[in-house]
């Protein structure tokens, strides 16, 4: 938890309690349903929570925005972002039902009211639009963009100055040159180590593709 407070200072008491509760909750659920690598569970706050919050360090969401977490797994980046942005609605989607069970249990345990879940593949969602799609290490950028583009809203109205246009924001690692080239997109790239100078974040990036 200390590493979170090293980079973020203005949490409310409620947010602090929610963040502090994640450690015990994920350790407990990970014993039942393996949603986090065994070697990573001891580094939950750096490798999962702070990594997720790098999106909040780079980009703002406005109250009332809707965000789809594509392939949310056990809840990253969506749950930390939902804690950070309590006025933003997060829709957590995964094709594996037991992972959504963890998301729902964690959200209920910490009193998160701004999360909904859906057991489906994102390409099956035809009837909803979202301001943003977020994702962490789910698929190549080419696929993420193909799945995301049809469900991202075109509405740019009444956006705060520091809030990005609707689009895809994903967390990626390694050498991305070929993946970006194959995607046919021209993402804005943020090196996470510039936000959080910790060795773990070397060669980890935020990619933002506006619609």
Arithmetic mean of pLDDT, 60-64: 95
130 is known to lie in a ligand binding site: no
Is 71 labelled as part of a ligand binding site? Answer: yes
- Give the DSSP per-residue string, 73-119: TTTTTHHHHHHH-TTSEEEEEES-HHHHHHHHHHHHHHT--SEEEEE
Ranges of each domain in the chain? 2-210
Please check the confidence at residue 59 and state whether its pLDDT lies above 90: yes
Q: Report the SS3 class of residue 70.
A: strand
pLDDT in the model for residue 159: 81
pLDDT at 157: 64
* 122 is known to lie in a ligand binding site: yes
pLDDT band at residue 155 using 50, 70 and 90 as cut-offs: confident
Per-residue pLDDT tens digits for 168-188: 999 999 999 999 999 999 999
**How is domain 2-210 classified at the architecture level of CATH?**
3-Layer(aba) Sandwich (3.40)
Q: Is the pTM of this model over 0.85?
A: yes
CA distance 188 to 172: 12
Span of 31-35, 36-40, 79-83 with lowest mean pLDDT: 36-40
What are the C-alpha distances in Å from 183 to residues 61, 125, 130, 144, 147?
A: 25, 21, 21, 9, 12
Confidence of residue 127 (pLDDT cuts 50, 70, 90): confident
The predicted structure's pLDDT at residue 199: 97
Nearest one of 82, 159, 140, 74 to 115, comparing CA atoms: 82
User: Given this model, what pLDDT does residue 22 score?
Assistant: 97
pLDDT by residue (tens digit) across 6-37? 999 999 999 999 999 999 999 999 888 888 87
Identify the pLDDT of residue 108: 98
Average pLDDT, stretch 96-102?
94
Neighbouring residues of 162: CB distance < 8 A, sequence distance ≥ 6: 60
pLDDT at 137: 81
Q: Is the pLDDT of residue 156 over 70?
A: no
User: Annotation-wise, does 136 bind a ligand?
Assistant: yes
């Amino acid at each position: 938890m200390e590493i979170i407070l090293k980079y973020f200072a203005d949490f409310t008491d409620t947010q602090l309690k929610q963040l502090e509760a994640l450690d015990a909750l994920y350790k407990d659920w990970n014993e039942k349903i393996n949603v986090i690598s065994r070697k990573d569970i001891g580094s939950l706050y750096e490798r999962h929570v702070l990594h997720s919050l790098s999106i909040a360090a780079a980009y703002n969401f406005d109250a009332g925005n809707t965000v789809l977490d594509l392939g949310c797994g056990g809840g990253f980046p969506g749950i930390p972002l939902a804690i950070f942005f309590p006025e933003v609605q997060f829709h957590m989607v995964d094709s594996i039902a037991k992972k959504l069970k963890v998301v729902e249990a964690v959200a209920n345990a910490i009193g998160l009211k701004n999360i909904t879940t859906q057991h489906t593949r994102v390409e099956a969602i035809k009837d909803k639009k979202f301001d943003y799609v977020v994702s962490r290490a789910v698929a190549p950028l080419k696929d993420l963009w193909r799945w995301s583009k049809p469900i991202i809203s075109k509405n740019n109205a009444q956006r705060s100055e520091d809030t990005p246009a609707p689009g895809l924001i994903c967390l990626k690692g390694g050498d991305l040159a070929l993946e970006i080239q194959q995607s046919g997109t021209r993402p804005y790239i943020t090196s996470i180590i510039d936000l959080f100078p910790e060795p773990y974040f070397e060669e980890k990036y935020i990619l933002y593709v506006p619609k």
